[in-house]
Amino acid sequence: MMAAEKKNRTALRDRLPGIRGTYAEDADLGAMSWFRVGGKAEILFEPADLADLAAFLKGKPAEIAVTLLGLGSNLLVRDGGVPGVVIRLGRGLAEIKAQGTTLIAGAGANSRSVAMASRDAGIAGLEFLSGIPGTLGGALRMNAGAYGREMRDVVIAAEALDAGGARHRLDRKALGFTYRHSAVPQDWIFIEATLQGEAGDPAAIEGRIAEIAKAREETQPIRTRTGGSTFANPPGAKAWELIADAGCRGLTIGGAAVSEKHCNFLINTGTATAADLEALGEEIRRRVFAKSGVRLEWEIRRIGVAACARPQANPEGTA
Ligand SMILES: Cc1cc2nc3c(=O)[nH]c(=O)nc-3n(C[C@H](O)[C@H](O)[C@H](O)COP(=O)(O)OP(=O)(O)OC[C@H]3O[C@@H](n4cnc5c(N)ncnc54)[C@H](O)[C@@H]3O)c2cc1C
């Protein structure tokens, strides 16, 4: 690291409020994302609990960029890393409680753990979450769904902190769920959600979870370094069909490949950079448009800066 860059990084760290959780400089985000590619977080913040997160947001200079990271299953972290502060919610925000046929869970909880807790409590209808890698916070942001259900079908309410740390309770309508999207402002951080199910038999729920696991194993390259569906399905069409029709199945750029098993999944074959994966995605978009006239939209969120574009963190600390 250049001396000037290191000095500016130190300056960024010094401008952040005191916390009870942890700050880590130059944290390897690639290791925290499913693709296993990408650069570092200038600073990674893991709050101890909700009060710690709220105090951080309140005390942080407004111009310092903040990026939320769940389990990185829907993210492509660019090779130059992410300037500013990346926040990852940990155990302090991952509690799961059952109340009758509702579950109240922290946004840092693993979606699969939420599904397993619903099984244990005899709450049916949340099984789909067992097959969606990631946190509940990521599932809220993405209105994640599978096998006929998505978050908007099960969320009664969610809570979020705004950029200044103020807490908001949002009912289903205020969450503004549409296909793989929530209308809640991008800089708000989900902290908790209340999910509604119905009374069910734990053994039957377990059976449904097992069916979902089997179907995924058969149809998706879930044991590879991937980011799930790369592109959103356009209205009235399936992204994978358009990609297959455009002859992109198996296409490669560098170490990035289009999955043979499910061609809306990109794969890091072991040596891919984020630039390879992004270039492959753009090549698919180009070929699909040329073949069908449809412009595919990225479902995967791309964060950070390209390797050659990593700026010297400036004294103001802005991204
Ligand atoms: C093998 C595989 C299969 C998949 N299958 C499906 C599927 O069937 N259906 C489906 O919908 N998705 C699927 N996905 C995509 C992904 O699992 C979901 O989008 C998941 O909900 C992302 O959760 P995450 O915690 O990993 O979020 P991340 O990928 O870390 O982040 C995704 C977005 O959410 C934001 N975010 C994360 N946490 C919070 C928070 N607390 N508050 C506000 N914003 C937040 C991030 O800033 C980012 O914009 C799949 C992915 C993989 C790798």
140-153 pLDDT per residue, tens: 999 999 989 999 99
User: How many CB atoms within 10 Å of residue 235?
Assistant: 7
Mean pLDDT in residue range 200-221: 94
The residue annotated as part of the active site, out of 88, 119, 141, 180, is 180
Catalytic entry in 9, 287, 299, 310: 299
Query: What pLDDT was estimated at residue 133?
Result: 95
DSSP code for 110? B
**Interval between CA 140 and ligand 1 midpoint (Å):** 8
Asked if residue 234 has pLDDT above 60, the reply is: yes
**Cβ(197) to ligand 1 under 6 A?**
no
Nearest C-alpha to atom 4 of ligand 1 is from which residue?
Answer: 228
Q: Is beta strand 301-303 parallel, antiparallel or unpaired with respect to 40-46?
A: unpaired
CA 207 centroid distance within chain: 27
Q: What is the dihedral sign for C-alpha 173, 174, 175, 179?
A: positive
Q: Is the CB of 145 under 6 A from ligand 1?
A: yes
**What is the phi/psi pair of residue 115, to 5°?**
-65, -40
Report CA(3)–ligand 1 centroid distance (Å). Answer: 36
Q: Is residue 309 very low, low, confident or very high in pLDDT (cuts 50, 70, 90)?
A: low
Give the CATH architecture of domain 94-204.
2-Layer Sandwich (3.30)
The mean pLDDT value for 24-41 works out to 96
Would you place residue 313 in the very low, low, confident or very high pLDDT band (cuts 50, 70, 90)? very low
Residue 51 has pLDDT above 70, yes or no: yes
Crossing angle (nearest 10°) for helices 202-219 and 111-120: 150
* Best CA proximity match to 252, nearest among 238, 227, 271: 271
Task: Given the residues 73, 111, 130, 229, select the one marked as catalytic.
Answer: 229
**Residue 5 banded pLDDT, cuts 50, 70, 90:** low
Is 107 near ligand 1, meaning CB less than 6 Å away? yes
Please say if the pLDDT value at position 310 is more than 60.
no
Question: How far is ligand 1, taken at its centre, from the CA of residue 130, in Å?
Answer: 13
Ligand 1 atom closest to 190 (CA): 42
Tokens 């074959």, located at residue? 269
Residue 265 has pLDDT above 90, yes or no: yes
Distance in Å, CA 72 to ligand 1 centroid: 7
Closest CA relative to residue 266, chosen from 52, 34, 11:
34
Our answer to whether residue 217 is catalytic in this structure is: no
Average pLDDT over residues 169-198: 97
pLDDT band at 210 (very low <50, low <70, confident <90, very high): very high
Cα 289 to chain center, whole Å?
Answer: 27
Angle at 305 between CA 107 and CA 251, to 5 degrees: 90
Q: How confident is the model at residue 221, as a pLDDT?
A: 85
Q: What is the pLDDT of residue 319?
A: 29
Q: Specify the pLDDT at position 10.
A: 65
Q: Is 70 in the pocket of ligand 1 (CB under 6 A)?
A: yes
pLDDT of 99 reads 97
Domain ranges of the chain: 3-91, 94-204, 221-303
Degrees to nearest 5, angle at CA 103 with 97 and 107: 80
pLDDT of residue 219: 86
299 is catalytic: yes
Nearest to 230 by CA among 183, 276, 267: 267
Confidence at 315, pLDDT banded by 50, 70, 90: very low
CB 151 less than 6 A from any atom of ligand 1: no
Cβ atoms of 193 and 105 within 8 Å: the answer is yes
Q: What is the mean pLDDT of residues 39-58?
A: 97
State whether the beta carbon of 133 lies less than 6 angstroms from ligand 1. Answer: yes
Inter-residue contact 92 to 47 (CB < 8 Å) = yes
pLDDT at 312: 44
227 CA distance to ligand 1 centroid (A)?
9
CB 233 within 8 A of CB 191: no
* Sequence-distant (≥ 6) Cβ neighbours of residue 228 within 8 angstroms: 34, 73, 74, 133, 220, 265, 299, 300
Q: What is the mean pLDDT of residues 190-213?
A: 97
**Looking at residues 205-229, what average pLDDT do you find?**
93
Q: CB 295: neighbour CB atoms within 10 A?
A: 11
Residue to substitute in 56, 130, 141, 223 for testing ligand 1 pocket (most ligand atoms within 8 angstroms of CB): 141
- Specify the higher pLDDT residue, 91 or 10: 91
Task: DSSP letter for 181, please.
Answer: B
CATH architecture of 3-91: 2-Layer Sandwich (3.30)
Query: Rounded mean pLDDT of 152-166?
Result: 98
The domain defined by 221-303 carries CATH number 3.40.50.300: no
Residue with the smallest CA separation from ligand 1 atom 21 is 139
3-state SS, one letter per residue, for 41-101 = EEEEEECCCHHHHHHHHHHCCCCCCEEEECCCCCEEECCCCEEEEEEECCHHHCCEEEECC
